[in-house]
Structure 1
Amino acid sequence: MIPTPDLSHLTPEDFEEVYDPAEDTFLLLDALEHDVGTLKGLCPRLCIEIGSGSGCVSSFLAGILGPSHALYLCTDINARAALCTARTGAQNNTPLDPVVTSFASPLMERLKHSVDILLFNPPYVPTSISEASAAQDVSDGVGIASAWAGGMDGMEVTNQFLAFVDDLLAPRGLFYLVAVAPNNISDITTRMKDSYGLKSHIVLERRAGREHLFVIKFARPESA
């Protein structure tokens, strides 16, 4: 069993503004560990986590892949989260490069069809649309609500990002998405297949209190 990254350097004040790893985080870690042979077989050169928060997931990924020439980009609209990600990389001797941005917006042209491993644990909690929009509004500064407020069906932010996945993924690239039952898993997978030809399957699922969590993996048909 691969150890969870050390987050002892992060403070209670950090977690007032940055998402504290919870069951959804740990399910994603378990899914990555489940697929470790496949991930290592990719010999990835570019890994990107959208919404890296504490940096726990990317640090774990770098840890399971071991020494490599991979670049680990970590984006977050929360500047405090980007700082925490950088500190987590340093704490765990994993080379994380955080960028404060929405999704991978300013990097899209340079990253086109070049991302080998793409990770997203989105804000998936169903809320009002206005609450989700306010949580993502960088003009007022963003905080911890940006990590969980998901709008109608918890899909407002996820829907925006799904439109970018096909442009980002390398030919053999893999995309791991965390979702919950109210997000309508079958609708997500059907849409990604019909719109972009991406095949998918559920790597792991788990009940955590009232939530039924899933990690879905997407790939192009030739690498599925």
Structure 2
Amino acid sequence: MIPTPDLSHLTRDDLEQVYDPAEDTFLLLDALEQEAEELRKERPLICLEVGSGSGCVSAFLGRILGQSSSLYLCTDINKHATRCTLATGKQNKITLDPVTCSLTRPLSSRLRHAVDILLFNPPYVPTDTGEASSAQNSANIAGSWAGGTDGMEITNLLLRDVECLLSPRGRFYLVALKQNDVPSIRSRMLEEFGLTSQIVIERRAGKEFLLIIRFTRTSP
């Protein structure tokens, strides 16, 4: 087993301002570990995590792939999160490059069809639209969970950019809640963007039923 990244450097203050890795985080780690051999064979050059929080997921991906040939970009709206991501990389001897920005729009033009691995553990908890909007504008820890109507308002903002970001061999891993209407997400991404999908792993965590969906381009 690939060890979970060391997060012992994070303080109580950090975890009051940044999402503490939980069941959804660990399910994404399990999905990446399950596909570790395939990921290594692909030798990805650019990896991008949207909403990196503590930096746990990108550091874990770095342990799978190594540092020699991969660039690990990480975005978050929360300035404290980008600082924690940078520190987590240093703690685990993986060079992570965090950027404070809203989703990926500032990076889309520069990374057009260049991202080999795209990771997103979104704010998927259903809330009212005002709460989700306020959380994003405040750029604090609430932005890591308040998902708006059906928990999909923030996710939908990224889904429109996925096809633009993914390289021809790119893989997009999305954390979703069953209540997010996963069949609708999958069919929409296929019909609108030609991206096929597969449920990599799924698990019940308390009242939540979580899934990791992998999207890739359809074969020509």
The answer to whether the aligner puts 1:173 opposite 2:162 as a matched pair is no
Residue 71 of structure 1 corresponds to: 71
Which residue does the alignment assign to 1:218?
215
How does the TM-score come out when normalised to structure 1? 0.97
Which residue does the alignment assign to 1:40?
A: 40
Q: Which amino acid is the alignment partner of residue 20 of structure 1?
A: D
Q: How many matched pairs? A: 220
Give the structure 1 partner of residue 20 of structure 2.
20
- SS of residue paired to 2:60: helix
- The CA distance in 2 between the partners of 1:210 and 1:107, in whole Å, is 35
TM-superposed CA distance for 1:45, in Å, is 0.5
For 1:136-155, what aligned pairs fall within 5 Å after superposition?
A: 136-137=136-137, 141-155=138-152
Q: Does 1:130 find its partner at 2:127?
A: no
Q: Which runs of 5+ in 2 are unaligned?
A: none
The 1-side partners of 2:191 and 2:45 are apart by 28
User: What is the one-letter code of the residue matched to 1:207?
Assistant: R
Structure 1 Cα separation of the partners of residues 40 and 25 of structure 2: 21
- For residue 143 of structure 1, what is the amino acid of its counterpart? N
Matches within 5 A, 1:179-190: 179-190=176-187
Q: Which runs of 5+ in 1 are unaligned?
A: none
Conserved? CA contact 2:67–2:95, under 8 Å: no
Q: Counterparts of 2:84 and 2:60 in 1: how far apart (Å)?
A: 14
AA aligned opposite 1:216? I
In the TM superposition, what is the alpha-carbon distance from 1:67 to its structure 2 partner?
Answer: 3.7
TM-score under structure 2 length normalisation: 0.98
Query: Post-superposition shift, 1:222?
Result: 2.2
Q: Give 3-state SS (helix, strand or coil) of 1:111's partner.
A: coil
Amino acid at match of 1:84: C
Q: Distance in 2 between matches of 1:101 and 1:118?
A: 16
Q: Quick one: which amino acid aligns to residue 105 of structure 1?
A: R
Tell me which moved more, 65-74 or 80-89: 65-74
1:81-104 deviations in whole A, cap 9, x for unaligned?
Answer: 000000000000001000000112
Equivalent pairs: percent with the same residue?
Answer: 60
| 1:198 counterpart = 2:189 | no
Q: 1:66 offset after TM fit, Å?
A: 2.0
